[in-house]
Structures are given as C-alpha cells and as structure tokens.
Chains A and B, each alone.
Chain A
Amino acid sequence: MRRQGIPAGGFRDSGSGRTELPCFIIAQVVERGNSNPFLLANRRPTTVIPIAIFVMLSKLNKLIADTLKIDESLVNDDASMQTLPQWDSLAHMNLVAALESQFSVRFEPEDLLSMVSVQEILNALARFGVSADSEPS
C-alpha cells in the first residue's frame, strides 16, 4: 500500500481553475494494491481517509520503524509480529515502552500481550481515548 500526499487547499481542476475543498475532508488517498487504484490523472479518489488519521498512522508507523530499526516503507497498516521478522519479543517490549512514552499511557498486561499488530495497537490506544483527534506528547 502506498500513500501519496495531497497539498492542503484542494485539487486543481485543469478545466475550471482551483477547486477548493472544505479543510476537514482534505484527504489522503490510499492506493491499495490491485484494487481501487487511485487515478491521479482523473482526480477521482476512490478511497479516502481523514488527514488526521493519516497523521496518526504515519506517526505510529514511524515509531514502529524506529523501534524495530527498519525502513519506514516496510511498516504498513497490516504490519504485525507475523509479517515483520524484526518484531520479536524483545522488540515488542521496546515498542510497548515507546508507545507508552509517546502517548502517555500505561498498558494493562492483557493489552500489551495482545498488541501484536498495528491494528491491535490502534485498538489498544483507542481504549485510552487516544485517537486521530488527540495529539501524542
């Protein structure tokens, strides 16, 4: 899955000039493999997610990449202990410590043992009310 950033302010329509979009739906287009490819040329985003969530995911993926000492391009929303060999038990505990420091939370034992994927981490953070709307410290 590859992301492409779109400048704030909206899309430029070659026919009628600059097209302004409301800020809260300025979107990050996500290209997902072979399905629903984003057709930049037609400026028709087929999958959009709010920019705030993109920022959250980007920060999380960067934190994971930094902790595992791997290239950020290897970390995506489907990343887990199963897909990344560098994500072993020791690395997992370092990651938990980094997440707790970054988001000022303290995970319960049951949570930290089940947070073995990006999705599970997001779920665990959401239980603390850490979501796209909140700023990490």
Chain B
Amino acid sequence: MSELIPVTEAMFEEICPVLARFNTPPPDSPLWKNLLTQPWPVEEDHRGYALMDKGKAVGFIGMIFARREIGGRIEKFCNISSIVTLEEHRHESMALMMPVAGLKDYTITNFTPTPAVTAVFNRLGFEELDDTMHILLPTPGWPKDTGAPKGRYRIVTHPTKIAERLRDEDREIVDHHQFQNCWQILIDGPEDYCLVVFNRTKGRKYSFSFVHHMSNPAIFFACLNRVKLAMALKSKTPFIMVMDRHVKGQPLGRTRTSTIKHKAIFKSSTLKREQIDSLYSELILLNL
C-alpha cells in the first residue's frame, strides 16, 4: 500500500519521474519547477501530495495556493493541477483525490481536468466553470458604448509605468506574474483602469494571447482596437482568446466562438464563476 505525503519545494527531483508522464510542457522543461517554487507567498507548507511506494513517487497531485482580495475579502485559492498516477498504481488514484475532499473554505479550481477527474470532482461538489471561449479576430471595428466611464484612455505597456498607477491588490498581481511569455498591459482612464494579464498559448493551428485577467471588461472593450494592437505587439500573435464568463454582455466585435472540449471546473462557497479567473494557476506557471 502506498503512502500519501505532502510535497514541498525541496522534493522536485523526487516527483520528476511521474511528471515526465506529461507531454505539455516537455518533461525536461524548466517550467515544471514552477509548480513547486511559486514566486508568491503562501501560508500552506506544501505544494500538493505524492503517492510514495517504497520511497519512490508513483503518483502526484499539484496544488497551487494563493490568497487574493476579491470583493473586499481575502479569499483562499487552490488550483489543482498535474494529477498523475503510474499505470501499475492506477488502483490507488482515488487516494490522490483525498486531499481535495479535505480542503475547506477554499475556492478550488481545475483548468485542465481529464474526463475521469471531472467525474470524480463533480461528485465532490465541483461545477463547470465555463464552456465557451471567444477568439477575438484581428479586424478593427467601430467603437461601441460598453458602459465604460467617458473620457480618454491610454494604453500603458511599460512595467514601471503600469505599477505606478495600480492599486495595491493589482500591483501584487503584477509582481506575482513576472514570467516569460506572460505580459501585462494597462488601459488607463480618468476614473478607472483595466489591468490585463495574458500569456501566449498554442492552439492546434495558431497561437493566441490568452487573457487570464481583465479587471474592467467595459474599459477593455471600449478600447478594443488599440488593445488588440498592443497585445499583438507583445505576444507576436494577432488572435486573442477570452473566456465567456468574463465578457458576458460586452460587444466583442468580430469573433469566433467555440465550446471548450475539456471544461474547467471549480468549487467555491463564496465566489461566483464570474469572479474566478486563471491567475495563480498552472496555465501561467506551465505556460499552457
């Protein structure tokens, strides 16, 4: 019978053999280390659990913890990632899910669940987070009234100038997401701003700028033409991918809309799905 033990930052070499089962990113990619060495402070003393059989890792479940201020409250987050069991220990895979069942008062997300994981997590009270994504095409459109405060907006891309304008909780987000292939732009206006955090992700045929966070969708879409250009210059791809729950009711312009095959799931007793983005997750740490 294998033993379930918490995984700390120092145990990366021990879990490498099970992480090698994943192809994205490649097994030898240095990104895998990000799973255990997250650049933001956390109160939890582990980064997931490993199933150990005679001192050898035979299974792993990653847990990416974070504290964020949302709606004036400090919320606890846990993003579940990289669930894997070696074939000969498949019968012990249920044990890996036990720590998830034990997480109380967390908003728990899984952005890349397999169908089997979805079936188990649904039974643990998880719901679908989003099933629709929009690809914003690189064609200009007429500006539309989005409900954003009237006034002139400027697009800021320099990190230092972005940081000067931000509220504390947003400055923390920027500090915590200084990764290769992860960028921020600021749409700064007279009354408010919109902070956009995005990375470059590869689809089947094309690469996209995937928007993980936009603090004010009304401002984002009010300045859409210029935002598209600014993001394309950073990520070197003209296509932008946004999730439906963040942009409901906004004029999207020319888009391609499609249903997601493997839907992200979440469980929260305090937050609605619109309040949950994909910051502090494997999508950024592993550049998925």
Residues of A within 8 A of B (CB): 80-82, 87-90, 92-93, 96, 109-110, 112-114, 116
Q: How many residues of B contact A (CB 8 A)?
A: 18
Nearest neighbor of B93 in chain A, beta-carbon distance: A89
Q: Which residues of A contact B101 (CB under 8 A)?
A: 109-110, 113
Contact A114 B90 (CB under 8 A): no
Q: Which residues of B contact A110 (CB under 8 A)?
A: 98, 101
Contact B90 A88 (CB under 8 A): yes
Q: Which residues of A contact B125 (CB under 8 A)?
A: 109
Q: List 28 A-B contacts (CB under 8 A).
A: A80-B91, A81-B91, A81-B92, A81-B94, A82-B91, A88-B116, A89-B94, A89-B117, A89-B120, A90-B115, A90-B116, A90-B119, A92-B94, A93-B119, A93-B122, A96-B123, A109-B101, A109-B124, A110-B101, A112-B123, A113-B95, A113-B97, A113-B98, A113-B101, A114-B95, A114-B98, A116-B92, A116-B94
Bound CA–CA A80/B120 (angstroms): 17
Known: A81-B90, A92-B94. 10 other contacts (CB 8 A): A82-B91, A92-B120, A93-B120, A93-B123, A109-B101, A110-B98, A113-B94, A113-B97, A113-B98, A114-B94
Within 8 A of A (CB), among B74-116: 90-95, 97-98, 101, 115-116
Interface centre among A82, A93, A113, A116 (most CB of B within 10 A): A113
Residues of B within 8 A of A (CB): 90-95, 97-98, 101, 115-117, 119-120, 122-125
Sort A-B residue pairs by CB-CB distance and give the 9 closest, nearest first: A81-B91, A109-B101, A89-B116, A82-B91, A93-B119, A113-B94, A90-B116, A109-B124, A90-B119
Question: Interface residues of B: mostly helix, strand, loop or mixed?
Answer: helix
Bound CA–CA A114/B91 (angstroms): 11
Bound CA–CA A137/B75 (angstroms): 43
Q: Which residues of A contact B116 (CB under 8 A)?
A: 88-90
B84 to chain A, nearest CB (A): 12
Q: Which residues of A contact B97 (CB under 8 A)?
A: 113
Q: Which residues of B contact A113 (CB under 8 A)?
A: 94-95, 97-98, 101, 120
Bound CA–CA A90/B95 (angstroms): 14
Q: Which residues of A contact B124 (CB under 8 A)?
A: 109
Bound CA–CA A90/B121 (angstroms): 11
Nearest neighbor of B125 in chain A, beta-carbon distance: A109
Q: Which residues of B contact A89 (CB under 8 A)?
A: 93-94, 116-117, 119-120
Nearest neighbor of A113 in chain B, beta-carbon distance: B94
A93 to chain B, nearest CB (A): 4
Interface centre among A81, A93, A116 (most CB of B within 10 A): A93
Nearest neighbor of A117 in chain B, beta-carbon distance: B91
Q: Which residues of B contact A90 (CB under 8 A)?
A: 115-116, 119
B243 to chain A, nearest CB (A): 26
Bound CA–CA A109/B267 (angstroms): 14
Bound CA–CA A93/B123 (angstroms): 8
B124 to chain A, nearest CB (A): 5
Q: Which residues of B contact A109 (CB under 8 A)?
A: 101, 123-125
Nearest neighbor of A111 in chain B, beta-carbon distance: B101
Interface centre among B91, B97, B123 (most CB of A within 10 A): B91
Q: Which residues of A contact B122 (CB under 8 A)?
A: 93
